Structure 1
């Protein structure tokens, strides 16, 4: 479950980087003016931070579920040990 989340995050990050470096024609006018404006950079940075926050939240939820499953299994193991004594 956690591996799936990490794989998904990794693949999404790679895709985002590919899209950033792709030679799309609509960026040519911005490039001719000397690059991306500060406002656009700020908006992009905000978007990236939001995406990373969502990824962190998803991983934290997955970790919480995994901990609950581990605790449940540990209780089952303890119960079986107590029944055999």
Structure 2
């Protein structure tokens, strides 16, 4: 008797559970950007932007390096001057 009642409960629970709809993409989205001359042009534009962005970063980094090298040279000169003072 108890087994029959539990089976009914489980059956009712299963019936009451809403079904989930499964949605998926076929993969055709974005196909225009990946094929043909449009995709090549898009890729070329992105590559051009990336190269320009990297060139700008390199310029900034080189300027910073040059500034630090000047500061290092000044500090080395100060150290040498102080060392000469203490030797004499």
Q: Name the TM-score, length of structure 2 as normaliser.
A: 0.57
Q: Say what the alpha-carbon RMSD is for the aligned residues.
A: 2.2
Give the equivalent residue in structure 2 for 1:33: 32
Give the equivalent residue in structure 2 for 1:67: 69
Distance verdict in 2 for CA 1:44–1:30, change over 3 Å:
farther
Bigger share in helix: 1
Alignment length (residue pairs):
58
Mapped to 1, the partners of 2:39 and 2:62 lie a distance apart of: 35
Q: List per-residue Cα deviations over 1:20-44 (Å, max 9, x = no partner).
A: xxxxxxxxx9704252611111111
Mapped to 2, the partners of 1:49 and 1:59 lie a distance apart of: 15
Point out which structure has higher relative CO (alpha carbons under 8 A, 6+ apart). 1
Q: Post-superposition, which runs of at least 4 consecutive aligned residues in structure 1 deviate over 4 A?
A: none
Structure 2 alignment gaps of length 5 or more:
1-27
